Amino acid sequence: MNNPTPAPASGPDGQLAEIWGDVVSRPQLGKAILIGAVVSLAVYAVALATIAPLASTPAIGKALAMLAGIIGCILGGAICARLFQPKRRVVEQIAPGAIWQTEVLDQIAIEGGAIGSVEDLPPAVAQEMREVGLYSVFQDYEQDRARNREAG
């Protein structure tokens, strides 16, 4: 009924892995590397054969071919971006409720920072907080804490 071992994730994209800071699909990454290599090298080779002989010196010709090869890299990347979708689940954030915000403030307090009092703030900062809609959040939090202290 309750399976403790996580199921091997072979969904539509195959095995996922975190590589160089983000999640990719292993089979798709293999194909993407192949596409990137083939496209960039093909463009470089074609430029080396066609554009390079037209330049005034061989060094400039080779550099121009390299520039073409770099454009080839970006082209290869663009093809891969069309073929392979990002493995990210983007959630559009819902308006945060007061309870959640309180948890954030608790977290700040735990991490060693004082919350402080809105009374002590310079007027400009208090005004900014009102515009953002956080003034009352901080004020309520303060009053809650004060009440809890009296009660406890």
Partner 1 sequence: MDPLLYDILVALGLGLLGAVLFSAIGLISGTDETTTIAPVTLLVVLLGAPPAGVFTFWMCAAISKHMTHAVPTALLGIPGDTMALPLLQQASALRNLGAPHIALRKMLAGSVISAFIAVPLAVLFAVILAPFGTYITASAPWLFIAASVLIAYFSAGRWASVIALVPFTLLIVALQSFTGAHEVKLGVSYFLGIAIGPLVAELISAASPLERKRMNRSEPRETTLAPDVKGWGGYFPNPFRVLDRSQVRATATAAAITSGTFVFSPVAMTVIAGEIVGARIKHAYHRLTSVLAVRNGVTESTYIAEALIPLIAFGLPLSPVAAGPAAPLFNAPPRFTVNSETGVVNNLHTLMSVSEFLIWGLVSVVIATLIAYPFAMNHARSAAAFVAKRISHEAIIATFVGLILVIGLWEGGVIALLVILTVGLVGGLLYRVLGMNTGVQFMGYYAAVLSVPAILKLLG
Region 91-120 residues binding partner 1, contact defined as CB under 8 A: 91-93, 95-96, 100-101, 104-105, 107-109, 111, 113-118, 120
Half-sphere CA count of 108, side-chain side, radius 13 A: 12
Binding flag, residue 137, partner 1 (CB under 8 A): yes
Kindly tell me which residue out of 3, 54, 88, 152 binds partner 1, with binding defined by CB under 8 A: 88
Kindly tell me which residue out of 1, 2, 3, 22 binds partner 1, with binding defined by CB under 8 A: 22
Q: Among all chains, which residue has been given the structure tokens 């009924």?
A: 1
The closest alpha carbon to 35, from 83, 69, 102, belongs to 83
Binding flag, residue 62, partner 1 (CB under 8 A): yes
In whole angstroms, how close is the CB of 51 to partner 1 at the nearest point? 13
The closest alpha carbon to 25, from 38, 10, 36, 7, belongs to 10
